Amino acid sequence: MPEMHAASAEQHTMHAGLFGGNILTHRDRIGDDGTYDELAEELGITGIRYPGGAVTEFYFDISDPDRASGVHPHTGEEHTLIPYSSFLSWAADTNMPVTVVIPTREFLSEDTDENGDRFPEFDEALLRGFIRDTVTGAYGDAEIEGFEIGNEYWGSGEMSSVEYGRLSSEMAAIIDDELDSLGQGEISIITQVGASHGFADLSLDYDHLGTGEEQLQAVALDYGLLLNSEDHLYNGGGVNWTKIANELVMKEFDTPEERDALDAIAAHVYSKAPVFPGSRHFVLNSIEQTWLQDHPDLEIFVTEWNQKAHTDAFDAEEDYGLKQAAEMLYIVDEMSDRGVDIAHVWPLQQSAKSALSYGHDFEELSPAGEMFKMMRENLPGKQQIDLATDGSDGEPSADVLSFYGDNELVVYVMSRSEGTTMEDLGMNAIIADYDHLEITRLGVEAGQSPGSTQSNAEIDILDPSEYYVDGTIQADLDGFEIMQLVFSDVVLTPEVEALIEGGVDDPEPILPPIDPVEPEEPEEPDEPGAEADAEGAGLAVEAIFAAAIVPLFLLLVA
């Protein structure tokens, strides 16, 4: 029987801000018109990002934020929208902090520099008025947590890294000045992390050059960057285009006012782990290796996150459901470890493989939704204790994660096999005593696929006397099931207490060794013929950029 020991204790503490969510103004409905508000309450959502992702760029108009409908600029499809006032009034009534995404796609001129990059052109008075009216309650008295400048500039924003850097730096300074004049300087101003795909795929302009070194030299000359092979090439010789994209955005924050205006960096984390484990932390690494080097006090907002849906790495019926539930725990743990300040999961309710409630009307949580709820209820205020065995009695056949805080120890035992897992885990080196134990098992209805979002989740409350005996967890799990054990008024062993008090240093950023494992395509639509709203601009933008040679002015068929 494997005996568990505490190997290390992380410094970062889980907090409620990691459990926010996205609302999609063109699909979700609140109040009598829909069930989004019921789902948000059921999940325990702690903050909302409005109006969503790509929908911000396609439908949200700061000159008329209360408009009740909008037309997609490429497809001509009309959608009913949640008016800004209706949303903010609901957010105020439910004490829900809000991150507002400001559209950027139409804020550029047609004038270009020698590299073909455009310049900002927008109505400063209009932007100031929108900020002022939002924070002074003209649209509702909701708490505004932050203003995010655009959504995925490389996708639905339809611009290059240089263009986004120019625009976001100028907008940030204006927003900051307006907030300061209103005594609202505590509201975060958020710019996006750099990316090199879609409209911002700089590699397309240099892939005719033979080597990474030659490409670096050409980029450095064209954009006035200081680049070198040690910092900007992967071990395999390929160019780290993501790092260059970040440096291009950062380069445009070139005045004290622009640099001082910036409070946070926004990233989207869509994991392809375990197929590509690096995808869980790739974007967070890029922030650490670029922005935080010069601006260590910046906050990190992960304004979309989940297991990736639009990918060939996973099967719709085999790789979501309980597998996604486990991956969500790993992502939350990674975000906490990296010091993420605010996170918004995507999507809450959609007909998408990764939805927390499948469909457009909330009836029940998906397996991943149940896992999110369990984490939200039990993890805030706790830090991870990394458990390991000495190997003498074998390694566990299940994954084991534990978190401690507020005199509670939460342990997750997660099956990683399709068959039945019978696992005994000795905890005497961790737990000296406890007052109460609650054990929950997350599975799916008998006969249904454990890897499908559409499988019905089942929550079983287990008898502790049967599943925790003489300091041993006796896990009895069907395929990919997850057991959660919550020890209340727990007394840890002196060794573990000392480990927690001492803490550990933050891990060094992990540079992807050969190739990047970043998202390379927009997230999938949640129904045939509809544009997506995560990790990009959906089918409309995917069609625009599919061959990287289609002119941007084409009307597309979604």
Say if CB 245 and CB 196 are below 8 A apart. Answer: yes
Q: How far is CA 245 from CA 192, 212, 462, in A?
A: 11, 15, 50
Determine what percent of the chain is predicted with pLDDT higher than 70.
Answer: 89
Domains with residue ranges and CATH for the chain: 14-200+255-381+516-545 (3.20.20.80), 382-502 (2.60.40)
Q: Which of 507 and 121 is assigned the larger pLDDT?
A: 121
C-alpha–C-alpha distance, residues 282 and 556, integer Å: 31
* For residue 331, pLDDT beyond 90: yes
**Straight-line distance from the first to the last Cα atom of the chain, in angstroms, rounded to the nearest whole number:** 55
- Beta strand 421-426 with 408-415 is unpaired
Q: Give strand pairing partners of 98.
A: 48, 144
What pLDDT is attached to residue 397? 83
| Dihedral sign of CA atoms 240, 246, 252, 257 in order | negative
In tens, the pLDDT along 132-156 reads 999 999 999 999 999 999 999 999 9
pLDDT band of 550, cuts 50, 70, 90: very low
Using CA atoms, how far residue 377 sits from 42, 74, 151, 223, 410, in Å, is 11, 42, 30, 48, 11
* Tokens encoding 460: 């079983």
Q: How does pLDDT run across 95-115, given as a tens digit for each residue?
A: 999 999 999 999 999 999 999
Instruction: Give, in degrees to the nearest 5, the angle at Cα 471 between 380 and 388.
Output: 65
Residue 33: what pLDDT? Answer: 87
Q: Which residue has the higher pLDDT, 389 or 516?
A: 389
Strand, helix or coil for residue 119 = strand
351-368 pLDDT tens trace: 899 999 998 889 999 999
What average pLDDT does the chain have?
90
Exposure string (b/e) for 149-179, b if CB count within 10 Å is 16 or more? bbbbbbbbbbbbbbbbbbbbbbbbbbbbebb
- Model confidence pLDDT, tens digit, residues 423-450: 899 999 999 999 999 999 999 999 999 9
Give the Cβ contact number of residue 300 at 10 Å.
23
Nearest to 51 by CA among 85, 93, 94: 85
pLDDT digits (tens, 9 = 90+) for 193-219: 999 999 999 999 999 998 999 999 999
Per-residue confidence (pLDDT) for residue 348, from 0 to 100: 97
Q: CB–CB of 260/215 below 8 Å?
A: no
Q: Which helix (H) or strand (E) is 285 found in, with range?
A: helix 282-289
Interval 19-64: pLDDT, tens: 999 999 999 999 988 999 999 999 999 999 999 999 999 999 999 9
**The predicted structure's pLDDT at residue 113:** 98
More confidently predicted of 528 and 345: 345
Name the band, by pLDDT with cuts 50, 70 and 90, for residue 408: very high
Q: Residue 307's pLDDT is what?
A: 97
Give percent above pLDDT 90 in the chain: 85
Q: Which helix (H) or strand (E) holds 376?
A: helix 367-378
pLDDT band at residue 552, thresholds of 50, 70 and 90?
very low
Q: What is the pLDDT of residue 372?
A: 99
pLDDT at residue 283 greater than cutoff 90: yes
- Tell which wins on pLDDT, 505 or 553: 505
> DSSP letters along 26-74, please?
TT---GGG-SHHHHHHHHT---EEES-SHHHHHH--TTSTT-SEEE-TT
Greater confidence (391 vs 339) lies with 339
Q: Are strands 491-492 and 457-462 parallel, antiparallel or unpaired?
A: unpaired
Q: What is the pLDDT of residue 396?
A: 80
**Strand spans (E) along 236-276:** 264-271
For the cut 70, the answer to whether the pLDDT of residue 157 exceeds it is yes
Q: Are 165 and 290 in contact (CB under 8 A)?
A: no
The band of 392, judged by pLDDT with boundaries at 50, 70 and 90, is: low
Q: Which residue, 518, 510, 516, is CA-closest to 238?
A: 516
- What is the C-alpha separation between 463 and 400, in angstroms, rounded? 20
In sequence order, the 6+-apart residues with CB closer than 8 A to the CB of 52 are: 22, 23, 24, 25, 26, 101, 151, 533
User: What digits encode the pLDDT tens for the residues 159-195?
Assistant: 999 999 999 999 999 999 999 999 999 999 999 999 9
Q: CA nearest 257: which of 173, 320, 200, 325?
A: 173
Contacts of 227 (CB under 8 A, 6+ apart): 216, 217, 219, 220, 244
The predicted-structure confidence for 225-279, as pLDDT tens digits, reads as follows 999 999 999 999 999 999 999 999 999 999 999 999 999 999 999 999 999 989 9
Question: What is the C-alpha to C-alpha distance for residues 285 and 308, in angstroms, rounded to an integer?
Answer: 18
